[in-house]
Amino acid sequence: MKTKARIAVLVSGGGTNLQALIDAQKSGIIKSGEIVLVVSNKTGAYALERAAKAGIKAVTLTRKECGGKEGFEKALTELLEAEKIDLIVLAGFLAILSADFTSRYPERIINVHPSLIPSFCGEGFYGLTVHERALEYGVKVTGATVHFVNEIPDGGKIILQKAVYIEDGDTPEVLQRRVMEQAEWIILPQAVELVSSKLAGARS
């Protein structure tokens, strides 16, 4: 029997994408991997409660507690190694990881971004800002992208994309919700399964 890839999910907030992954694991969409660790870089993030409810180990690591970015990444690396993590999923994780960190895990870190990369991406493009810019620009189609993470923000190889139509009267908040429901929560679990199946094959 194939060994499942061990997955860590990195979060900063409410954890809606984490919940989509937990649900996808329960429903069998994710079958080649198992979420064994959730790490938040923000104290009290609701995502930690979602992890606890699902029986997943949840840890908070803050830059402040670790003495800055370097200390944070060192502590994170040690935790990931201790848990024998194969795949790292950034799900609403609002910290940019250094080239030193990302180079340790080539094609083993994935991120979901709420636009069709290369549009509305890169440093400073996260959360509602992405949807505000899409509406300001007047694009008719937006969506979400799951990509591998490298040293360039939103610069890694694209794994999956899904388009979402912009509708008359959309506000950034309404659009954000539709992109989550119609794209992010669908393609993130699919991408996790795709990458997990390859990593699980290498592991077994």
Q: Which residues contact 138 (CB under 8 A, 6 or more apart)?
A: none
Using alpha carbons, list the distances in angstroms from residue 92 to 15, 47, 57, 89: 7, 10, 18, 9
State the Cα torsion 21-23-26-31 to the nearest 10°.
-30
Rounded-to-integer distance, Cα 165 and Cα 143, Å: 8
Q: Within the chain, where are the H helices?
A: 16-27, 46-53, 63-66, 69-82, 99-102, 128-137, 172-179, 185-203
What are the tokens at 130? 């992405």
| DSSP code per residue over 7-46 | EEEEESSS-HHHHHHHHHHHHTSS-SEEEEEEEESSTT-H
> CA-CA distance, 49 to 3, in Å (whole number)?
27
147 is catalytic: no
Cα 196 from Cα 174, distance rounded (Å):
32
Q: Of 113, 133, 147, 178, which one is the catalytic site residue?
A: 113
Looking at the annotation, which residues are catalytic?
A: 113
